[in-house]
């Protein structure tokens, strides 16, 4: 089972049964194939053969991304420039969505999705000793972080936003992000702090702010982040609404005048009543099969 490649048996079972909302430090199971399948030699081969699509690699230092023109040539990765940035300037290599171009990663993520019913992807981070790539931020999905080489320190703060989602209060949205938060987090100090060593696994629930770095690591840090995008009641609600298209009442044209300023509230109220009537007559068992198929077939919206 795929989760058992990442987590001890009890933790894998618990994750399927009760989704966690607190960080937890675990150990990679003995004889896990992940270091062999996705370790640094594999990542180096992907770089050296220029097999990584240019839109799937970011080179970052102190939260600032390098202009892709510094490490690409005519739309292709330039391995020597990538290694120069990595070795000479202390930049972090962030290789995104390995499952899109590396078959073993694809097979593993597909198995994780089949087992957890959550869309899944995996990214790799290579950070030189004494440096930092990404800084304070939160993610809109649960992460399972696997440390493969070196050490990385993770400073964690409880969520500022309760249960953020991909389309709800992203820290990447300048309208949302408040730089003053960083000063507040610094002054308060982290709510939890972990130093990951090879074989450590950190479960990081969505919304937890983290400031990961290798500033005190004597060697290069390599870690993987497996993302499991939690399903929510909103996800089911969206699919119930989508299924309403089979009801002819939802396919009728609205007169243009009904969408004027003076009539829009009435149009919303009429649709709300129609939706309530539709949902009251809906048979959950009849939709269950299609939603179960969606849990396996859907791809991550961030891909």
CA pair distance 81, 72, nearest whole angstrom = 8
Q: Point out the domain boundary residue: 230, 254, 278.
A: 230
Q: Does the pLDDT of residue 48 top 80, yes or no?
A: yes
Section 73-88 average pLDDT? 89
Q: What is the pLDDT of residue 173?
A: 65
Q: Does the pLDDT of residue 239 top 80, yes or no?
A: yes
Section 270-293 average pLDDT? 93
- Check if the beta carbon of residue 276 is closer than 8 Å to that of residue 282: no
Residue 40, domain member (yes or no): yes
My answer on whether 220 and 254 are in the same domain is no
- What Å distances lie between residue 80 and 71, 73, 83, CA to CA? 8, 11, 5
Which long-range contacts (C-beta less than 8 Å, at least 24 apart) are formed by 294-299?
Answer: 294/239, 295/113, 295/117, 295/118, 295/231, 296/113, 296/114, 296/117, 298/119, 299/119
My answer on whether 222 and 260 are in the same domain is no
For residue 226, the surrounding DSSP H or E stretch is: strand 221-229
Q: Point out the domain boundary residue: 230, 246, 270.
A: 230
pLDDT digits (tens, 9 = 90+) for 255-267: 999 999 999 999 9
Q: What is the pLDDT of residue 115?
A: 94
My answer on whether 182 and 248 are in the same domain is no
Q: What is the pLDDT of residue 171?
A: 65
Residue 99, domain member (yes or no): yes
- What Å distances lie between residue 194 and 47, 48, 191, 208, CA to CA? 29, 32, 10, 14
Residue 303, domain member (yes or no): no
Section 269-290 average pLDDT? 94
Q: Check residues 90 and 210 and name the one with the higher pLDDT.
A: 210
Q: Does the pLDDT of residue 63 top 90, yes or no?
A: no
Q: Point out the domain boundary residue: 230, 249, 280.
A: 230
Domain count, the chain: 2
My answer on whether 90 and 183 are in the same domain is yes
Residue 136, domain member (yes or no): yes
Q: What is the pLDDT of residue 259?
A: 93
Name the 3-class secondary structure at 236: helix
My answer on whether 139 and 239 are in the same domain is no
What CATH number did the domain enclosing 8 receive?
2.60.120.650
Residue 123, domain member (yes or no): yes
Cβ–Cβ contacts within 10 Å for residue 228, how many?
Answer: 26
Residue 302, domain member (yes or no): no
Percent of the chain with pLDDT strictly greater than 90:
80
Percent of the chain with pLDDT strictly greater than 70:
97
My answer on whether 203 and 283 are in the same domain is no
In which band, very low, low, confident or very high, does the pLDDT at 33 lie, cut at 50, 70 and 90? very high
Q: What is the pLDDT of residue 62?
A: 86
- What Å distances lie between residue 289 and 177, 232, 233, CA to CA? 39, 17, 17
My answer on whether 226 and 238 are in the same domain is no
My answer on whether 142 and 286 are in the same domain is no
My answer on whether 150 and 256 are in the same domain is no
What domain range includes position 243? Answer: 234-297
Structure letter (DSSP) for residue 31: T
Residue 119, domain member (yes or no): yes
My answer on whether 197 and 253 are in the same domain is no
Name the pTM for this structure.
0.92
My answer on whether 251 and 110 are in the same domain is no
CA pair distance 275, 247, nearest whole angstrom = 10
Section 211-237 average pLDDT? 94
Pick from 224-233, 269-278, 293-302: least confident: 293-302
Residue 113, domain member (yes or no): yes
Q: Does the pLDDT of residue 211 top 90, yes or no?
A: yes
Phi-psi region of 157 (alpha: psi -120 to 50; beta: other; left: phi over 0): beta
Cβ–Cβ contacts within 10 Å for residue 19, how many?
Answer: 15
CA pair distance 62, 213, nearest whole angstrom = 9
CA pair distance 5, 2, nearest whole angstrom = 5
- Check if the beta carbon of residue 124 is closer than 8 Å to that of residue 95: yes
My answer on whether 82 and 218 are in the same domain is yes
- Check if the beta carbon of residue 143 is closer than 8 Å to that of residue 43: no
pLDDT digits (tens, 9 = 90+) for 155-199: 999 998 888 887 776 666 656 677 788 899 999 999 999 999 999
* Cα four-point dihedral sign 185, 186, 192, 196: positive
Q: What is the pLDDT of residue 210?
A: 96
Residues 6+ apart with CB under 8 A from 67: none
């Amino acid at each position: 089972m795929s989760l058992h490649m990442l987590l001890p048996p009890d933790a894998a079972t618990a994750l399927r049964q009760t989704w966690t909302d607190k960080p937890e430090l675990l150990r990679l199971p003995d004889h896990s194939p992940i270091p062999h399948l996705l370790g640094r030699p594999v990542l180096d081969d992907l770089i050296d053969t220029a097999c990584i699509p240019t839109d799937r690699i970011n080179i970052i230092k102190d939260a600032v991304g390098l202009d892709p023109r510094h490490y690409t040539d005519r739309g292709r990765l330039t391995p020597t420039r990538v290694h120069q940035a990595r070795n000479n300037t202390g930049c972090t290599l962030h290789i995104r969505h390995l499952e899109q171009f590396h078959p073993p990663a694809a097979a593993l993520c597909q198995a994780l999705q089949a087992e957890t019913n959550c869309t899944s992807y995996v990214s790799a981070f290579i950070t030189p000793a004494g440096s930092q790539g990404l800084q304070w931020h939160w993610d809109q999905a649960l992460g399972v972080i696997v440390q493969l080489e070196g050490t990385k320190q993770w400073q964690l703060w409880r969520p500022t936003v309760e249960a953020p989602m991909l389309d709800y209060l992203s820290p990447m949205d300048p309208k949302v992000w408040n730089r003053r938060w960083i000063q507040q987090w610094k002054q308060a100090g982290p709510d939890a702090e972990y130093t990951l060593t090879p074989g450590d696994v950190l479960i990081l629930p969505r919304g937890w702010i983290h400031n990961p770095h290798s500033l005190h690591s004597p060697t290069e840090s390599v870690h993987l982040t497996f993302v499991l995008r939690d399903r929510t009641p909103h996800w089911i609600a969206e699919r119930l609404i989508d299924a309403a298209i089979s009801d002819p009442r939802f396919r009728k044209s609205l007169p243009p005048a009904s969408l004027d300023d003076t009539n829009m509230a009435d149009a919303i109220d009429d649709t709300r009543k129609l939706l309530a009537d539709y949902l009251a007559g809906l048979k959950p068992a009849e939709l269950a099969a299609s939603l179960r198929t969606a849990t396996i077939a859907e791809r991550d919206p961030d891909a």
